[in-house]
Amino acid sequence: MKKWIYIIVIAVIIIIAILVGNMLFKNKDNTNTENQIQNNISKENEIEENIFTNDISVSSIEQEKISPNAVLILKKHYEECDHTIKEYAKIPEEYVNLNQEELAKKQEGWRIEEFSKDEVTLIKDIDSVCNEHYVLREKDGIIAVYQIHEDNTETLKEETGIAVEYLTDIDKLRLEEGIRIYGEEELNSTLEDYE
């Protein structure tokens, strides 16, 4: 009889151990499942935030528009002399509130080099020389300054009053050939050398 009691007690202990183990295992699974669900929810929220943030940044870039107080920089690149002349201007009224794509459609012959709401830079290639080129020649015994135009024609800009007769023979020969100069600064410096 004692044998049966031991068998029953051992059976009850085994059943209790199985039930307790099962309960612990299920709690661990539930905890892991809950953690996985929380992680998945966090990842989904993060993905949604990234999508939302990217949408905002893309749309803000696309929607950047020219301010009424913006500065317009026009660059003319002259291919024959390889000089670029910059001009600054106030933005024309018809450009205000245009985005980059809309501005590009309005500009024929010009490329957009830089675009922001406060500053727009347009560049254009021109197949000639810029209007910053001069040539010094003798005219009626004095040095005269001629401006070279885009079509390579020359027009008298000024007569300097500097007498050619006091110059060296080399300078007189150079004047006969024409002394080519670029820019007002170089022009003034060269004339000062001859005074």
Decide which of 2.30.110, 3.10.20, 3.30.450, 3.30.420 is the CATH code for 71-126.
Answer: 3.10.20
pLDDT-derived band at 2 (thresholds 50, 70, 90) equals: low
Residue 14's pLDDT is 85
What values do phi and psi take at 182, rounded to 5?
-115, 125
Return the minimum-mean-pLDDT range out of 41-45, 69-73, 178-182, 185-189.
Answer: 41-45
* CA–CA distances in Å: residue 57 to residues 27, 42, 44, 178: 44, 22, 20, 58
Residue 165's pLDDT is 87
Q: Dihedral of the CA atoms 108, 110, 112, 114 (nearest 10)? A: -150
pLDDT-derived band at 148 (thresholds 50, 70, 90) equals: confident
Spell out where the chain has E strands: 71-78, 83-90, 111-115, 119-126, 133-139, 142-148, 154-163, 179-182
Amino acid at 180: R
Sequence spans of domains, the chain: 1-63, 71-126, 133-194
Chain-centroid distance, C-alpha 45: 34
Mean pLDDT estimate for the chain: 79
* Residue matched to tokens 């660059």: 75
Amino acid at 143: I
Amino acid at 28: K
Residues 119/69, Cβ–Cβ less than 8 Å: no
Indicate left, alpha or beta for 162 from its phi (over 0: left) and psi (-120 to 50: alpha): beta
pTM, entire model: 0.52
Residue 53's pLDDT is 54
Question: 17-40, pLDDT tens digit by residue?
Answer: 787 777 766 655 555 555 565 655
